């Protein structure tokens, strides 16, 4: 993830380092290259435009250009703006005092929802909670089996209900959690290959039935800037509180991850980099920005 972008940006800045003093022209041409590198990484063009405009304005400041190590300052500014783009501060998952807490996962089919549901359950279990997984994806063949297998692997109860009615399964899952003293219910919902009306209606119905404390949208990091349209549709119809970026271990160019915060205003809470239950990490914008710039 981000390998190409990282190489490109590092190349641009090592070019600047060789110059010592920097002129306005140097900044303008470096920013043109930054713009190209981000577009090639499939970052949304509006996001790129705003990012480059902000960064360039800060870099062209006389104090930066006349400073003793202008390139170092330029790199600091780019790191800072990248951190901003990724959300600036950490956005931890905070459970409310309601028991059981309900966390609903939404997203397209294949985005990694079922896997993320189990990973989140595993994480919460490690933190001393006793989660329950509700298998509300009744359309994708074997989704409930997959969740059950993952649940068994990590020792987390899975509620499947009648396997037919997602709203009833979500409600049944909450009741089952109460009956079995579980304090968090993670609701795995169905996705489709593309945003469609039925998926949105179903997500809305589950939302009104169980009133989740939070809704997290699972986004496949391979999605690139198409994520903008998908996120906008979910944002408008069911709304969500944060994002889990899955498949960060892949060789995606990273455009989706770099665009989503700016276009939705919603923070990335977790990134998932692997198929194993323990591969869900809290997301730290500053660390990611520093990693990209090497
Ligand atoms: P769902 O349809 O949204 O529930 O998606 P799944 O959870 O079934 O995930 C789709 C595929 O992506 C499965 O083969 C998962 O093993 C795989 N997957 C999910 N998350 C990750 C991840 O972070 N890294 C990798 N490499 N594969 C993942």
Q: What is the pLDDT of residues 84-121, one digit of tens each?
A: 999 999 999 999 999 999 999 999 999 999 999 999 99
ipTM beyond 0.90?
A: yes
Q: What are phi and psi of 277, to 5 degrees?
A: -60, -25
Q: Is 107 annotated as a binding residue?
A: yes
Tell me what pLDDT residue 194 has. Answer: 85
Quote the ligand 1 centre to 113 CA distance (angstroms). Answer: 7
CB of 35 within 6 A of ligand 1: the answer is no
CB of 274 within 6 A of ligand 1: the answer is yes
Quote the ligand 1 centre to 112 CA distance (angstroms). Answer: 4
Q: Is 108 annotated as a binding residue?
A: yes
Q: What are phi and psi of 286, to 5 degrees?
A: -65, -40
Count the helix, strand and coil residues of the chain and give each as a percent rounded to the nearest 5.
55, 15, 35
For residue range 113-169, list pLDDT tens digits in order. Answer: 999 999 999 999 999 999 999 999 999 879 999 999 999 999 999 999 999 999 999
Quote the ligand 1 centre to 17 CA distance (angstroms). Answer: 41
Nearest CA to ligand 1 atom 19: 112
CB of 112 within 6 A of ligand 1: the answer is yes
| Alpha-carbon gap, residue 51 to 46, rounded angstroms | 8
Ligand 1 atom at minimal distance to the Cα of residue 109: 2
Whether the Cβ atoms of residue 78 and residue 260 lie closer than 8 Å to each other: no
Q: Is 120 annotated as a binding residue?
A: no
Show the tokens assigned to 220.
């496949």
CB of 189 within 6 A of ligand 1: the answer is no
For residue range 154-167, list pLDDT tens digits in order. Answer: 999 999 999 999 99
Nearest CA to ligand 1 atom 26: 274
CB of 249 within 6 A of ligand 1: the answer is yes
Q: Is 111 annotated as a binding residue?
A: yes
Gyration radius of the chain over CA positions: 21
Nearest CA to ligand 1 atom 9: 112
Tell me what pLDDT residue 20 has. Answer: 76
Residue whose token pair is 């770099």: 258
Best residue among 109, 112, 146, 278 to mutate for probing ligand 1's pocket (most ligand atoms within 8 Å of CB) is 112
Count the neighbouring beta carbons within 10 Å of the beta carbon of residue 219.
Answer: 27
- List, for the chain, all residue ranges whose pLDDT scores fall below the cut of 50: none
Nearest CA to ligand 1 atom 13: 112
pTM surpassing 0.90?
yes
| Alpha-carbon gap, residue 190 to 116, rounded angstroms | 13
């Amino acid at each position: 993830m981000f390998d190409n972008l990282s190489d490109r940006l590092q190349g641009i800045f090592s070019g600047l380092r060789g110059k010592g003093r920097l002129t306005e022209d140097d900044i303008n041409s470096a920013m043109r290259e930054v713009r190209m590198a981000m577009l090639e990484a499939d970052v949304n063009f509006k996001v790129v435009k705003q990012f480059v405009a902000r960064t360039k304005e800060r870099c062209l400041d006389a104090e930066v250009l006349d400073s003793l190590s202008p390139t170092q300052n330029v790199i600091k500014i780019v790191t800072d703006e990248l951190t901003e783009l990724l959300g600036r501060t950490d956005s931890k998952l905070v459970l409310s005092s309601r028991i059981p807490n309900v966390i609903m996962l939404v997203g397209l089919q294949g985005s990694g929802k079922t896997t993320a549901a189990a990973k989140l359950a595993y994480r919460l279990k490690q933190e001393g909670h006793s989660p329950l997984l509700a298998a509300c994806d009744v359309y994708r063949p074997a989704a409930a089996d997959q969740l059950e297998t993952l649940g068994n692997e990590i020792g987390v109860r899975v509620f499947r209900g009648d396997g037919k009615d997602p709203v009833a399964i979500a409600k049944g899952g909450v009741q089952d959690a109460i009956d079995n003293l579980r304090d968090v219910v993670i609701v795995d919902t169905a996705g489709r290959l593309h945003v469609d009306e039925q998926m949105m209606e179903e997500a809305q119905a589950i939302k009104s039935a169980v009133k989740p404390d939070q809704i997290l949208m699972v986004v496949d990091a391979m999605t690139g800037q198409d994520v903008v349209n998908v996120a906008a549709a979910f944002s408008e119809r069911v709304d969500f509180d944060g994002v889990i970026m899955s498949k960060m271990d892949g060789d995606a160019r990273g455009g989706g991850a770099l665009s989503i915060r700016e276009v939705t205003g919603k923070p990335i809470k977790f990134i998932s980099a692997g198929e194993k239950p323990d591969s869900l990490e809290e997301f730290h914008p500053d660390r990611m920005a520093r990693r990209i710039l090497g």
